[in-house]
Amino acid sequence: MADQRDTADRFLPRFDGAGLVTAIVTDASTGVLLMVAHMNADAIERTQATGKAHFWSRSRSALWRKGETSGNELTLVEMRVDCDQDALLLRVRPAGPACHTGRRSCFYRRVEADGSLVFLDDDAHS
């Protein structure tokens, strides 16, 4: 039997045991995958209220707004939820690199079959 979230017309996030949902972040203009983070109820509320992406830092146990120190904010264009409401897709307009390394995307390395990493140079330090 399907959970009511599968067919609901209401946003009913399914948080995990730590109170988080996974948030996939893409550039609304290009579709490029920028980053993956986590959001709790406060982060979702702040993102919706301000139009700026907020996340929950698992390592710092703190709410944070992307770009609060770097200036590389993510302006929300659209928030989508998956079928069972345990993952979010944030389509954003980035104001600079999304990755803390200075790259446009956090996904700048490809994993090879032998376990080595190949650096992709499509956006090396934007």
What is the tens place of the pLDDT at every residue in 71-126? 999 999 999 999 999 999 999 999 999 999 999 999 999 999 999 999 997 655 44
User: How far, in Å, are 30, 73, 101, 111, 124 from residue 33 at the CA level?
Assistant: 9, 15, 15, 16, 15
49: CB partners within 8 A, 6+ apart: none
Amino acid at 68: E
- State the fold for domain 18-119: Ubiquitin-like (UB roll) (3.10.20)
d(CA 4, CA 122): 42
Q: Residue 122's pLDDT is what?
A: 65
**Residue boundaries of the structural domains of the chain:** 18-119
Does residue 64 sit in helix, strand or coil?
strand
